[in-house]
Amino acid sequence: MNRLGAVWGILLLLGLSPMPFVHADITDGNSEHLKREHSLIKPYQGVGTSSSSQWDFWGSTLVTSQYVRLTSDERSKEGSIWNTVPCFLKDWEMHVQFKIHGSGKKNLHGDGIAIWYTRERLNPGPVYGNQDHFVGLAVFVDTFRNDLHGMDVRPVFGNSPKFHGLALFIDTYPNDEASDRSFPYISAMISNGSLPYDHGKDGRSTELGGCSVEIRNKDHDTYLAIRYSRGRLTIMVDIDDKNEWKECIDIGGVRLPTGYYFGSSAATGDLSDNHDIISMKMYQLMVEHTPEEENLDWTKIEPSVSLLKSPKDNIDDPTGNFRSTPLTGWKVFLLLLCALLGIVVCAVVGAVVFQKRQERNKRFY
Ligand SMILES: *[C@@H]1O[C@H](CO)[C@@H](O)[C@H](O)[C@H]1NC(C)=O
Ligand SMILES: [Ca+2]
CA distance 336 to 191: 37
What's the CATH number where 240 sits? 2.60.120.200
The pLDDT score that the predictor gives to residue 209 is 95
Q: How many C-beta atoms lie closer than 10 Å to residue 70's C-beta?
A: 32
* Pairing of the two strands 274-284 and 92-101: antiparallel
Pocket probe mutation, ligand 1, options 133, 190, 191, 194, max atoms within 8 Å of Cβ: 194
Q: How far is the CA of 28 from the centre of ligand 2 (A)?
A: 30
The pLDDT score that the predictor gives to residue 9 is 45
* Length, in residues, of the chain: 365
Q: What is the pLDDT of residues 257-285, one digit of tens each?
A: 999 999 999 999 999 999 999 999 999 99
Tell me whether residue 153 is in a domain: no
Tell me whether residue 267 is in a domain: yes
Tell me whether residue 274 is in a domain: yes
Q: What is the pLDDT of residues 325-351, one digit of tens each?
A: 445 566 667 778 878 888 888 688 878
Question: What is the average pLDDT score of the chain?
Answer: 81
The pLDDT score that the predictor gives to residue 309 is 46
Tell me whether residue 312 is in a domain: yes
For 307-317, what is the mean pLDDT?
47
CA distance 205 to 132: 14
pTM above 0.75, yes or no: no
The structural domain count of the chain equals 1
The pLDDT score that the predictor gives to residue 27 is 53
Tell me whether residue 348 is in a domain: no
Tell me whether residue 191 is in a domain: yes
Q: Decide whether any atom of ligand 1 lies within 6 Å of the 72 Cβ.
A: no
Tell me whether residue 23 is in a domain: yes
Tell me whether residue 5 is in a domain: no
CA distance 197 to 8: 54
Least confident of 79-83, 148-152, 196-200, 204-208: 148-152
Q: For residue 120, give its domain range.
A: 19-145+183-325
Q: How far is the CA of 70 from the centre of ligand 2 (A)?
A: 17
Q: Is the pLDDT of residue 182 over 70?
A: yes
Q: Percent of the chain, pLDDT > 90?
A: 63
Q: Is the pLDDT of residue 127 over 90?
A: yes
CA distance 163 to 170: 10
Q: How far is the CA of 163 from the centre of ligand 2 (A)?
A: 32
Q: Is the pLDDT of residue 256 over 90?
A: yes
Cα atoms found within 13 Å of the Cα of residue 152, Cβ hemisphere only: 4
Q: How far is the CA of 304 from the centre of ligand 1 (A)?
A: 8
For 91-108, what is the mean pLDDT?
95
**Ligand 1, atom 6: closest residue by C-alpha:** 194
Asked if 193 contacts 131 with a C-beta cutoff of 8 angstroms, the reply is no
The CA–CA distances, whole Å, from 244 to 23, 132, 222, 286, 359 equal: 12, 33, 11, 21, 67
The pLDDT score that the predictor gives to residue 29 is 54
